[in-house]
Amino acid sequence: MSEKEKTLELIDLKKYYPIKKGVLQKVVGHVKAVDGVSFHINKGETFGLVGESGCGKSTIGKTIIRLTPPTAGQALYKGTDIFSLDKKSLRTLRPHVQMIFQDPYSSLNPKMPVGEIIGEAVREHGIVSDKDYREYVMNIMKICGLRPYHIDRYPHEFSGGQRQRICIARSIALNPDLVIADEPVSALDVSIQAQIINLMKDIQQRNGISYLFISHDLSVVEYISDVVGVMYLGSLVELAPKKELFKHPAHPYTQALLSAVPVPDPDVKMNRVLLQGDIPSPVNPPSGCKFHTRCPYAKPICSEVTPEFKEHAPGHKCACHLYNDGSWV
């Protein structure tokens, strides 16, 4: 595993948002949106990041491309730390790390024709000569399943799926090595979702791109990812190769997430692991294991000691006290 080339390696990434109060804007506490997350993405592979809203998964994406500054930690892109780059070298790095946003409606400038949206940055970074520019954009549009006459139309004429194709075209036009896809299909219809996922997979096979695929939908992540990380309240609770994770979900939270997905089969009455209560606020996360307030197997130790995030099987890491006594199967 370690022989593979790592496109991105995150080391102990932290992102705290200060809470300010009073006239003097005194910092009274922190929202620990991301609290010490480490993982790496291999070249040409997809890392799926799953979690519920507010668990910090989108923050990770935005922090990696420096749309928000990190509090601590490192993000090594092919060995260089993205967080320590100055403005100029950051700009030269930009085309290599791209992002696809969740909402295809607000992520396209309504006042710009499609060709311009896709090609703008291509021209900026001088990826192709001016002569080949239009042809290049047309070609990218073709790859992404858009028609040539779309090039002069405006975003409002497109459906959600087509818009997301435009977003994908915009990001791959820069020949990136890593694409951070922040819930790219959750705003789309089921049949369109499948199209977009297939498109993303095709492009991956073609260009050898790595994806960081952020989603709340386990079934989508399961389909596209090679490695999956499950997040809860700012930290990873489980990380494993896809097949391993879905066959042997270890952490109670992962189990609950898996069983909560409704199955389109009236005969399957699943034994739901129904979680009680809501996700606690990240301002005051519970002590010990953050999940113990909702965990069906919670033991006294869970509320006192933070479980270690350790490797139980090759490539399968989990942070839970249940397996400390060697009960791993």
Give the range of 20-28, 34-42, 270-278, 320-328 binding other proteins by CB under 8 A: 270-278
Query: What is the closest distance, in whole angstroms, from the C-beta atom of residue 236 to other proteins in the complex?
Result: 17
Q: Which residues contact 220 (CB under 8 A, 6 or more apart)?
A: 185, 186, 193, 197
Site for other proteins in 58-117 (CB under 8 A): 62, 65, 67, 90-95, 98-99, 101-103, 106-112
Site for other proteins in 131-150 (CB under 8 A): 147, 149
Taking CB under 8 A as the rule, does residue 295 contact other proteins? no
Question: Token match 């085309």: residue?
Answer: 95
Give the range of 35-43, 127-135, 192-200, 315-323 binding other proteins by CB under 8 A: 192-200
Site for other proteins in 234-253 (CB under 8 A): 242-243, 246
Taking CB under 8 A as the rule, does residue 325 contact other proteins? no
Phi, psi dihedrals of residue 208, rounded to the nearest 5°? 65, 40
Give the range of 22-30, 135-143, 254-262, 301-309 binding other proteins by CB under 8 A: 254-262
Whichever of 92 and 301 has its CB closer to other proteins, that residue is: 92
**In 10 A of CB 150, how many CB atoms?**
19
Query: What is the closest distance, in whole angstroms, from the C-beta atom of residue 326 to other proteins in the complex?
Result: 28
Taking CB under 8 A as the rule, does residue 201 contact other proteins? yes
Out of 133, 154, 309, 323, name the contact with other proteins by CB under 8 A. Answer: 154
Residue 79, phi-psi category: left (phi > 0), alpha (psi -120 to 50), beta (remainder): left
Query: What is the closest distance, in whole angstroms, from the C-beta atom of residue 162 to other proteins in the complex?
Result: 7
Whether the Cβ atoms of residue 7 and residue 42 lie closer than 8 Å to each other: yes
Taking CB under 8 A as the rule, does residue 326 contact other proteins? no
Question: Token match 């993982």: residue?
Answer: 39
Taking CB under 8 A as the rule, does residue 174 contact other proteins? yes
Give CA separation, 130 vs 20, 93, 94, 134, in Å.
49, 22, 20, 8
User: By C-alpha distance, which of 163, 312, 205 is closest to 250?
Assistant: 312
Whether the Cβ atoms of residue 179 and residue 99 lie closer than 8 Å to each other: yes
Q: What is d(CA 48, CA 250) in angstroms, rounded to the nearest whole number?
A: 17
Out of 151, 239, 240, 279, name the contact with other proteins by CB under 8 A. Answer: 279
Note the helical H segments in 262-329.
none
Out of 11, 76, 85, 121, name the contact with other proteins by CB under 8 A. Answer: 121
Phi, psi dihedrals of residue 192, rounded to the nearest 5°? -75, -35
Taking CB under 8 A as the rule, does residue 194 contact other proteins? yes
Taking CB under 8 A as the rule, does residue 264 contact other proteins? yes
Query: What is the closest distance, in whole angstroms, from the C-beta atom of residue 165 to other proteins in the complex?
Result: 10
